């Protein structure tokens, strides 16, 4: 017999303003309990030190997590010059010191090399697997892993404040899988110093922005009473707002639901300007209802992920 799932079958997104301290998994487990939900996941890990946007997906929204994680992220972090740490943030042990405190001109001169598509070495305290083991597990056991550089897309990397000679505040917009701790470490080295992150906040994840975020304190206010109302959840389709929409008829949607592709010839005049007919993704809609995500390729629109 199929085992009955515990909790309510909820669908939607909760945009949490994550506090400093807990892990992203801690937050998923807590919100799953607070909402009494059957299924939940998150749209992009935040370090325990970090605060800010942590999108939590419930039910059918978990199917759209990969599209959220592929979206643009915006971060703000504070770099402290003078010390390197083994974690590349304030929680780690000191591994080196420097008396160099670069001025603003030196920092601005170093920044262009970190914009665009760069090669980045991840922090050794990261979830990357090396020969089947997590890098952070190896590092904690004193077996520091050797991590290879990997491509990282940095769309914007700006110095926005300089509170004092020891610290600098930056804002970054980046693609998937970019480590802010590595950026902080490497920009300090490029300026002839050493450094690590002391404050890190995520301001945007794909279509999700700070004005959508809810604090954990607000959610915990009703923890001793009934489960939190699903009215706080954003629709599943909110995660797909950045993907061009293509209108379908009801009959086309039925065919799509059965795995049938639709000729792009039949969709002439409806293909959105932002969609690439040679490999682009579109959000298939019937009226205001999202049917799923489809790939445009080889003259056809093919179902990729139906909701």
Positions marked active-site: 47
Which residue from 5, 6, 8, 4 is spatially nearest to 229, judged by alpha carbons? Answer: 8
Smallest CA-to-CA distance from 291 within 247, 243, 261, 260 is with 247
DSSP lists the bridge partners of residue 129 as 134
Instruction: Dig out the tokens for 188 from the structure.
Output: 């300090």
Residue closest to 98 by CA, chosen among 199, 189, 198: 189
Q: What is the dihedral of CA 294, 295, 296, 302, to 10 degrees?
A: -70
Residue with tokens 């890190």: 200
Separation of alpha carbons 18 and 293, rounded Å: 29
Cα Rg of the chain, angstroms: 22
Strand blocks (E) in 165-230 = 167-174, 195-205, 208-209, 214-215
Residues composing the chain: 307
Alpha carbon distance 271, 269 (integer Å): 6
């Amino acid at each position: 017999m199929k085992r009955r799932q515990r909790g309510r079958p909820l669908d939607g997104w909760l945009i949490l303003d994550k506090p400093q301290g807990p892990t992203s998994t801690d937050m998923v487990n807590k919100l799953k309990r607070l909402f009494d939900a059957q299924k939940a996941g998150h749209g992009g890990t935040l370090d325990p030190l970090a605060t800010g946007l942590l999108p939590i997906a419930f039910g059918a929204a978990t199917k759209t997590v990969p599209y959220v994680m592929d979206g643009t992220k915006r971060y703000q972090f504070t770099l402290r010059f003078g010390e390197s740490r083994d974690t590349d943030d304030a929680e780690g042990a000191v591994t080196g010191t420097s008396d160099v405190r670069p001025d603003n001109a030196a920092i601005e001169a170093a920044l262009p090399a970190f914009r665009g598509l760069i090669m980045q070495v991840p922090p050794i305290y990261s979830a990357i697997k090396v020969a089947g083991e997590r890098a952070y597990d190896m590092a904690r056991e004193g077996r520091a892993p050797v991590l290879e550089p990997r491509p990282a897309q940095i769309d914007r990397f700006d110095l926005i404040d300089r509170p004092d000679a020891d610290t600098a505040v930056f804002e970054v917009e980046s693609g998937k899988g970019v480590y802010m701790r590595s950026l902080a470490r490497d920009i300090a080295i490029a300026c002839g110093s050493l450094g690590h992150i002391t404050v890190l906040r995520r301001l945007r994840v794909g279509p999700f922005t700070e004005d959508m975020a809810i604090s954990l304190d607000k959610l915990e206010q009703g923890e001793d009473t009934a489960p939190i109302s699903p009215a706080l959840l954003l629709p599943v389709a909110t995660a797909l707002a950045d993907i061009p929409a293509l209108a379908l008829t009801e009959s086309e949607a039925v065919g799509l639901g059965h795995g049938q592709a639709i000729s792009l010839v039949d969709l002439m005049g409806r293909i959105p300007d932002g969609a690439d007919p040679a490999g682009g993704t579109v959000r298939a809609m019937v009226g205001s209802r999202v049917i799923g995500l489809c790939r445009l390729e080889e003259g056809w629109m093919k179902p990729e992920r139906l909701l």
